[in-house]
Amino acid sequence: MADVIDIAGIPVTLRRSARARRMTLRIARIGGEVTLTLPGRIARREAEAFARGNADWIARQVAAVPAPRGVAVGGTIPLGGRDVPVIAGTGRAARWTGAAIAVPDDRHAARRVRLLVRELARSHLVAAVSEHAGALGKVPGRITLRDTRSRWGSCSGRGDLMFSWRLAMAPPAILDYVAAHEVAHLVHMDHSPRFWACVAGLMHDYAPRRAWLRREGAALHAVRFDRT
């Protein structure tokens, strides 16, 4: 059973790690769960004192975590950087009308909307990757989509690219930045100054787009497609 302490009404899970050299607090971007990692030698009362000393910071961070947001007919969902309505539609699949997402109003509505978001993400990402790779004279490998939590994209040593399909919910400029970022890894498989210079060559104003993801990305992960 996990060791949990209460800090001003907020549960904090204590996790001991032989590799930890100091106490560290982590707030999950999804759900806002609080974890305090401890070196093995730290006593529980010392950990609790540390957490209480950071109670105000914990409360602020937890309050800033976006609340889970369900997907259902009659609600809205972020798409392309703006909230669009989800309306009742006919047929067996969700459909983008240009102004709304139309989907059959049944227990599978959220799943059908998720599939549509994935399709839109693939279409936009394939186009963006093609443009940026062409500018560098590179040919990317396979493009796959996943629902990743820790990263928005990645590039393998073979040149295969992976992206989060949730990028379809972000503004188009943000999706375009992630595509450029991962394509630049086809040239430099690191985050060296040469890599960032390559990104800048593809997109001179990448910095505010990168900052947007850090600031607003958690809201995209807060959208839940496992319920109607």
Which 8-state DSSP code applies to residue 68?
P
The answer to whether residues 225 and 111 touch, using CB atoms and an 8 Å cutoff, is yes
* Unique residue bearing structure tokens 């890599």: 195
Mean per-residue pLDDT over the chain, rounded: 93
pTM: 0.82
Q: What is the pLDDT of residues 134-161, one digit of tens each?
A: 999 999 999 999 999 889 999 999 999 9
Dihedrals phi, psi of 122, to nearest 5 degrees: -60, -45
pLDDT over 80 at 47, yes or no: yes
CA 68, 71, 72, 78 torsion-angle sign: positive
Max alpha carbon distance in the chain (Å)? 61
Q: Report, as an integer, the average pLDDT of 19-33.
A: 87
pLDDT digit string (tens) for 73-122? 999 999 999 999 999 999 999 999 999 999 999 999 999 999 999 999 99
CB burial of 7-34 (b: ≥16 within 10 Å; e: otherwise) equals beebebebeeeeeeeebeeebebeebeb
The confidence band for 29, taking pLDDT boundaries of 50, 70 and 90, is confident
- Identity of the amino acid at 39: P
* 217 and 152 Cβ atoms separated by less than 8 Å: yes
Torsion angle of C-alpha atoms 148, 153, 156, 162, degrees rounded to 10: 70
Instruction: Evaluate if residue 28 carries a pLDDT over 90.
Output: no
Residue 228 confidence (pLDDT): 41
Give the residues across from 14 on adjacent strands.
Answer: 3, 36
Residue closest to 206 by CA, chosen among 179, 186, 187: 179
User: CA–CA separation, 87 vs 29, rounded Å?
Assistant: 29
